[in-house]
Each structure stands twice: as structure tokens, then as C-alpha cells.
Structure 1
Amino acid sequence: MSEKPRNVSQRLHEISKVPISQNQSVTKPKPRQSEISTQIGDTEVVNNILNAPITLRVREVLASSRELSEQLTEMIKQKNTRPTATAHAIITTKDRGMLICLSLECDGKTVNAIIDTGSQLNVVSKDIYQTIIRLPMN
């Protein structure tokens, strides 16, 4: 008996129904690649794209990000300079100047005095106060 000729689709349908044993493995064919594509990896291309310099107008940059705009504005804003910390301060005064020296008399005793015309206080040594002046003090 001869078999009826089958069409290709019927034959493929029958083949697909044949069970695959566990010893047989189904492997997908490797995708086709050119010689150039095997030499260059996908991540290398992505890294090159991310590292590529681009030209942007400042207007585009400022319009794209509010945070970037605020940061740039803050960086170019003129600010008061902070005073530098002083490690040591040296105050110099005149060592010698014109002093008004007078000889004063208190209870019949002579006292040499220096008059400071800008002073609001009267200063006297403790010894002079206790031995010569001896008046109430406030």
C-alpha cells in the first residue's frame, strides 16, 4: 500500500506532536553576527554614548532642570566675603607722647600727677590713697 502524499504543513504538524525524550535537548541556534559585531560589546557602545560630549545652550540647560538653574544662580550670585580668622592681634600705642604732669598738694603733702584730659576716671595708686589722700571713695 502506498501512502498518500501529504502536504508540508501536515507533515510539520505531525513532527511537532512527537514527544522529546529527556536525553534529547532542544538548543536554539545562535544568532548570526558579523565579524565586527563580535569584536564590540553592547556595554562598550552604551558607555561611549554616555561619555560623549554634547553641546547645549545655557538656556536649554536652565530650562531643563529647576535644581540646576537654582544651583547655577547661587554660584554666580555676588556675596559678602567672610572675614578671615585672625590668629594674633597686635595693638600698638604710642610709648611716648606729651603728658601733662603736675605737682598737686593734698593736705599739705605734694603728689606728682599725670592728667589725662580724655579720661572719665580718676586713678591713683593704693599707697598714695592710704598715706596721703585718706578721703572717702565711691
Structure 2
Amino acid sequence: MEGIGALFSTHPQRPPNPSLIEACTTACYECCSLCVSCSDACLGEAHVADLVCCIRTCLDCSDACLATARIVARLTRPSPMLVEAQLMACAEACRVCAEECENHAARHEYCRVCAQACRSCEQACRALLHGASLM
């Protein structure tokens, strides 16, 4: 199965930074999925009340990542200001979620995995944000 990079390479609106856009989009979709799974795993714990902040943070991060992936993957006539604002919001959501999940990582392996995905997504968003030209 070909990925989003193959689509970008055939898109009539060739982006100036296709590898950065591909990395960001891929990281956002991955982080989105892992945050949903992490929140679900938290809900399965006996002491779920101790994980309410983690659940909320994961769900917020998942939503931010999904919106970011969708906005960044649209290459035709993007609004640079909107893309920049979305990337900044996503990077911040990922930073906050990673910190929260890291607080639980010693007890819950799924939180460690989620935190790692959040850190990767944060880095990918910041890399695209600081790329030569957003779109």
C-alpha cells in the first residue's frame, strides 16, 4: 500500500517541503490513534478516577492531531496563518499530553508509549512550522 508521500508526489500542487508535510501528517495520525487507545486503556483501570486528567488530555490531543493532519494534508490553496496556528496548537497539545502521560508511565506502559508518540508528533509539527515555507 502506498502512503501519503506517494499521493503528495502526484498532487498537482507540489508542496515545497513534501517530506516535512508527510512526516507531520503521519505523526499526527499516529499520535491521534495512540491517544485514543491510551484514554481507553485508562478507562479500563480499576482506579480510573486517578486518570481523569490523563484521559481528558489524551482526548484533547487526539482531536488536535486529527485536525492538524487533515489541515496539513490539504495542499491546494492553504491559509498559511491557519496552518501555522494549527501546527502551534497541535505541538502544544502534544507537549501537554506527553507530560501528563509521563506522570503515569512508570505504572502504565501504554502511557509511556503514548507519551513517546506525543513527543514525536510535537517535533514533527515544530519541524514543519520552522520549515523554509509552510505550504
TM-score over 0.5 (shorter chain): no
- Report 1 or 2 for greater relative contact order, CA contacts < 8 Å, sequence distance ≥ 6: 2
Q: TM-score, length-normalised on structure 1? A: 0.15
Rg larger for? 1
* Structure with the larger helix share: 2
